[in-house]
């Protein structure tokens, strides 16, 4: 609907084609450096602050030179995590854990022999049992140095790793960063960068609508993205080419955007 109404060739605010902001690009560039010399990197942040954008940028960066198997089902056991890794490498998943570990290590060395880097990514790593994470850390000890295990998590992961019993994992972290909420000017820059990516003018959103979106998103990228898309859908329904206050307010009236005290008054 949005593409047809606004005459677009691609979807607006599409997470699959990320546009990195300055602070996200800095994290992305650092991850690449650590992949060249071996690393264990941790990217933390509140839900919706842009960690997934960085993840997609890593995955899509250079598939021919940088292999990036991504594990998103982190509630699995270590055995099932091995199965997911094996599937990513096209390895037979049947057999004992020790056999699959051996095959994964061989696959890692083959990647290294081919002159490629290996960057396994574990998303929502804070949900993974620490013992499973410990076994993965031991597994990657036998991988070539040109690899970088990346953990993407909420800040609660670091609280676990600060426990004395988990010092063996924390002491091997080569880089960690917290992706924070964005300042208002950065939120505006994100919106305009997304409009540039789909070749829409900055005046597609009125100045008043932009200000309201910035205030309501509270520095969270995911909220910004969802609010912009929903407001554009309201503009389609209203047959308007400019997203204004009416469209944004219509979205903000929905229960999931309302504060608890507002809902109690209803």
pLDDT of residue 215: 94
Same fold for the pair 22-179 and 182-264? no
Q: Which backbone phi and psi does 175 adopt, to 5 degrees?
A: -160, 135
3-state secondary structure of 216: helix
Burial 195-233 (b: 16+ CB within 10 A, else e): beebebeeebbbeebbebbbebbebbbbbbbbbbbbbbb
Q: What is the pLDDT of residue 226?
A: 93
Q: What is the pLDDT of residues 176-229, one digit of tens each?
A: 999 999 999 999 999 999 999 889 999 999 999 999 999 999 999 999 999 999
Mean of the per-residue pLDDT values of the chain:
88
Spatial separation of the C-alpha atoms in residues 115 and 182, rounded to whole Å: 37
Given a contact cutoff of 8 angstroms between Cβ atoms, the answer to whether 221 and 190 are in contact is: yes
What digits encode the pLDDT tens for the residues 120-172?
Answer: 899 999 988 889 888 988 888 888 887 889 999 999 999 999 999 999 899 99
Using pLDDT thresholds of 50, 70 and 90, give the confidence band for residue 266: very low
Q: For position 263, what pLDDT does the model report?
A: 45
Domain coordinates of the chain in residue numbers? 22-179, 182-264
pTM: 0.84
Q: If you classify domain 22-179 with CATH, what class do you get?
A: alpha beta
d(CA 265, CA 251): 18
- On whether the CB atoms of residues 149 and 104 are closer than 8 A, the answer is no
Q: Which CATH number is 182-264 given? A: 1.10.8
Residue 96 binned pLDDT confidence (cut-offs 50, 70, 90)? confident
The tally of CA atoms less than 13 A away on the side-chain side of residue 178 is 8
Which of 224, 216, 201 minimizes the C-alpha distance to 257?
216
Looking at residue 220, its pLDDT comes to 93
Mean pLDDT value of segment 88-116: 86
């Amino acid at each position: 609907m949005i593409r047809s109404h606004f005459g677009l060739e691609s979807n607006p605010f599409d997470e699959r084609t990320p546009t990195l902001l300055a602070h996200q690009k800095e994290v992305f560039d650092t991850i690449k450096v650590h992949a060249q010399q071996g690393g264990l990197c941790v990217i933390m942040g509140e839900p919706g602050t842009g960690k997934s954008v960085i993840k997609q940028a890593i995955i899509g960066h250079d598939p021919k030179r940088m292999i990036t198997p991504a594990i998103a089902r982190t509630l699995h056991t270590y055995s099932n995590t091995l199965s997911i890794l094996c599937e990513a490498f096209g390895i037979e998943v049947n057999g004992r854990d020790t056999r699959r570990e051996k095959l994964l290590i061989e696959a890692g060395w083959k990647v290294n022999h081919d002159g490629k880097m290996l960057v396994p990514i574990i998303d929502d790593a804070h949900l993974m049992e620490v013992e499973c994470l410990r076994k993965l850390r031991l597994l990657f000890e036998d991988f070539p140095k040109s690899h970088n295990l990346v953990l993407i998590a909420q800040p609660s992961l670091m609280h676990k790793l600060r426990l004395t019993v988990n010092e063996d994992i924390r002491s091997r972290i080569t880089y960690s960063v917290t992706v924070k909420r964005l300042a208002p000017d950065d939120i505006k820059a994100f919106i305009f960068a997304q409009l540039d990516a789909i070749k829409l003018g900055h005046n597609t959103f009125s100045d008043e609508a932009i200000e309201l979106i910035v205030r309501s998103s509270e520095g969270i990228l995911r909220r910004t993205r969802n609010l912009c898309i929903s407001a554009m859908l309201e503009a389609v329904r209203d047959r308007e080419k400019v997203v204004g206050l009416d469209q944004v307010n219509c979205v903000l009236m929905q229960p999931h955007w309302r504060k608890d005290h507002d809902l109690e008054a209803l």
